[in-house]
Amino acid sequence: MATLIPTLTLTSTDATSDTLNFSVIDTLTTTAPNVNLSQIVVDTTGANNIIVAANDNKQTWVYIKHTGTTDGSTTTTAHCDVELTGNVAVGTLKPGEFCWFPFCGNGSSVGVQLQAVGSSVQMEYAYWSDSTGQ
Partner 1 sequence: MATTTATCTLSSPDILSQAISVSSTMTLIKDNTAATGLEQLNYHRALIPTGTQFDLIPESAALNTNPANYVYIINKNTDVTDYAVISIKDEVIGSLYGGDWMFIPWSNSVTETEDAQSGQGNDTSIEITATTHDCVIEYALFHSGETLLTADDA
Q: Given the rule CB under 8 A, which residues bind partner 1?
A: 2-16, 20, 24, 26-28, 30, 34, 36-37, 46, 59-60, 63, 65, 79, 81-84, 86-94, 96-106, 108, 110, 115, 117, 126, 128, 130, 132-134
Instruction: In angstroms, give the least distance from the CB of 71 to partner 1.
Output: 19
Q: Which is nearer to partner 1, 71 or 77 (CB)?
A: 77
Instruction: In angstroms, give the least distance from the CB of 119 to partner 1.
Output: 12
Q: Which is nearer to partner 1, 14 or 74 (CB)?
A: 14
Contact 62, 100 (CB under 8 A): yes
Instruction: In angstroms, give the least distance from the CB of 69 to partner 1.
Output: 15
Contact 123, 117 (CB under 8 A): no
Q: Which is nearer to partner 1, 8 or 71 (CB)?
A: 8
Q: What angle do CA 5, 11, 13 make, to 5 degrees?
A: 165
- Which residues does 9 contact at the CB level (< 8 Å), separation at least 6? 21, 22, 23
Could you give the C-alpha distances from 45 to 42, 65, 83, 108, 117, in angstroms and in order?
8, 18, 11, 21, 9
Instruction: In angstroms, give the least distance from the CB of 55 to partner 1.
Output: 11
